[in-house]
């Protein structure tokens, strides 16, 4: 259901085509709810069926035609109703943490490599969000306050994951673990 509302939110900024929304979902709103174009077209169809949005074909000569969707009054009302229901926070769900939990049964070296890769990823994303955040600083328009708060979550999320990776790498380093290194010798692995 939520994707439909996320699309409606995108439509409150003006008419958008499926293609537009797909691109938008790679930035802005999409930081908090991602979707592939295949799914977006599917959901746009449902929005049309419910009359929460209306479609209009825009004829273009230089590019392929586009089908623009606009939010209707019923759509706005649906958004309002949606916001009045309690939302469920996203729960932690990460196979990496599952691996950590079962650390004795997995390859420690691979885990370390994974940690390193993640650390880099989180730092990259943090920088990305920070750039977006800077653009909203010092504004006190309601919309900007909201978007800033949302981005703040993203910033903290990446920052804390990044920092945690550093600590984890430290605690799981061969030096810190001493003799408890469970890495399977290469010779044994080659036989398997």
Positions touching DNA (CB under 7 A) are: 1-3, 17-20, 22-23, 34-39, 41-42, 44-45, 60, 62-67
Distance between CA atoms of 165 and 45, rounded to whole angstroms? 42
Opening angle at CA 134, ends 137 and 151, nearest 5: 85
Q: Which is nearer to DNA, 60 or 87 (CB)?
A: 60
Angle between helices 2-11 and 73-83 (to 10 degrees): 130
CB 111, min distance to a second copy, A? 6
Q: Which residue has the tokens 């759509």?
A: 75
Q: Which is nearer to a second copy, 59 or 142 (CB)?
A: 142
Q: Which is nearer to a second copy, 42 or 58 (CB)?
A: 42
CB 190, min distance to a second copy, A? 14
Report the partner that residue 122 touches, choosing among a second copy, DNA, none (CB closer than 5 to 8 A by kind): a second copy
Distance between CA atoms of 109 and 172, rounded to whole angstroms? 10
CB 40, min distance to a second copy, A? 14
Distance between CA atoms of 55 and 119, rounded to whole angstroms? 43
Pairing of strands 16-17, 53-58: unpaired
Report the partner that residue 19 touches, choosing among a second copy, DNA, none (CB closer than 5 to 8 A by kind): DNA
Report the partner that residue 106 touches, choosing among DNA, a second copy, none (CB closer than 5 to 8 A by kind): a second copy
* Joined tokens for residue 76: 């706005």
For residue 55, the cross-strand partners are 69
CB 81, min distance to DNA, A? 15
> Residue 52's Cα: distance from chain center in Å?
25
Report the partner that residue 92 touches, choosing among a second copy, DNA, none (CB closer than 5 to 8 A by kind): a second copy
CB 63, min distance to a second copy, A? 28
């Amino acid at each position: 259901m939520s994707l439909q509302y996320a699309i409606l939110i995108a439509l409150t900024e003006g008419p958008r085509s499926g293609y537009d929304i797909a691109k938008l979902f790679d930035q802005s709103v999409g930081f908090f709810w991602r979707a592939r174009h295949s799914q977006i077209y599917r959901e746009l169809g449902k929005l049309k069926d419910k009359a929460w949005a209306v479609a209009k074909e825009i004829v273009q000569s230089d590019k392929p035609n586009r089908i623009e969707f606009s939010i209707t009054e019923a759509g706005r009302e649906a958004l309002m109703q949606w916001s009045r229901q309690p939302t469920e926070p996203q729960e932690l769900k990460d196979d990496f943490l599952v691996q950590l939990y079962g650390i004795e049964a997995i390859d420690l070296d691979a885990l370390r490599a994974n940690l390193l890769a993640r650390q880099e990823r989180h730092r990259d994303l943090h920088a990305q969000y920070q750039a977006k955040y800077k653009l909203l600083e010092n504004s006190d328009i309601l919309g900007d306050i909201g978007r800033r708060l949302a981005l703040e979550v993203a910033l903290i999320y990446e920052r804390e994951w990044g920092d945690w990776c550093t600590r984890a790498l430290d605690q799981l380093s061969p030096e810190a673990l001493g003799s408890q290194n469970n890495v399977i010798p290469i010779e044994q692995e080659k036989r398997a």
